[in-house]
Structure 1
Amino acid sequence: MRIIDISSAVDASGWEPDEVRHEVLSPREGAVHMSEEMRRHFGVAFDPDELPEGEFLSLDRLTLTSHTGTHIDAPSHYGSRAHYGDGRPRNIDELPLDWFYGPGLLLDLTGCEGPTAGAGDLEKELARIGRVPEPGTIVLLRTGASERAGTEQYFTDFTGLDGPAVNLLLDHGVRVIGTDAFSLDAPFGAVIRRYRETGDRAVLWPAHVTGRHREYCQIERLGNLAALPGCDGFQVACFPVKITGAGAGWTRAVAFVDE
Structure 2
Amino acid sequence: MKIIDLSKPIKNNKQDPWFMKVKIKHKPHKKAKWLIRFLGLPFKLFPKGFSGWADDTIQKMGVHSTTHIDAPWHYSPTTNGKKSKTIDEIPLEWCFGEGIVIDMKHKPDFEVITVKDIKTYLSKNKLALRENMIVLIKTGRDKFNGTKDFHKKGTGMSAEATEWLIDQGIKIMGIDAWGWDLPLPYLIKKAKETNDPELFWEAHLVGKNKEYCHMEQLVNLDALPLSGFKVAVFPLKIVGASAAPARVVAMLD
2:66 to 69, 74, 79: 69
Q: Which amino acid aligns with 2:5?
A: D
Q: Does 1:110 align with 2:101?
A: no
Task: State the identity as a percent.
Answer: 32
The answer (yes or no) to whether the contact 1:72–1:248 under 8 Å persists in 2 is: yes
The answer (yes or no) to whether the contact 2:11–2:23 under 8 Å persists in 1 is: no
Q: Does 1:150 align with 2:146?
A: yes
CA RMSD between the two structures: 1.6
Distance 2:73 2:44 in 1: 49
Report the CA distance between 1:61 and its aligned residue: 0.6
Q: Aligned residue for 1:99?
A: 94
Report the CA distance between 1:223 and its aligned residue: 0.6
Q: Aligned residue for 1:249?
A: 244
Closer/same/farther in 2, CA of residues 31 and 217 from structure 1, 3 Å limit: same
Name stretches of at least 5 consecutive residues in structure 1 with no aligned partner: 39-44
TM-score, reference length from structure 2? 0.92
Name stretches of at least 5 consecutive residues in structure 2 with no aligned partner: none
Q: Secondary structure at the match of 1:211?
A: helix
Offset from partner CA, 1:165-205 (integer Å, 9 cap, x none) = 10111111000111111110111111112211221211110
Q: Which amino acid aligns with 2:106?
A: G
Offset from partner CA, 1:59-107 (integer Å, 9 cap, x none) = 11112011122111000011222224xx200111111111011110101
Q: Does 1:225 align with 2:227?
A: no
Worse overlay, 188-197 or 98-107: 188-197
Distance 1:148 1:256 in 2: 25
TM-score, reference length from structure 1? 0.90
Q: Secondary structure at the match of 2:136?
A: strand
Q: Aligned residue for 2:187?
A: 191
The answer (yes or no) to whether the contact 2:12–2:22 under 8 Å persists in 1 is: yes
Distance 2:147 2:125 in 1: 32
Closer/same/farther in 2, CA of residues 14 and 99 from structure 1, 3 Å limit: farther
Report the CA distance between 1:256 and its aligned residue: 0.9
Q: Does 1:132 align with 2:128?
A: yes
Q: Secondary structure at the match of 1:152?
A: coil
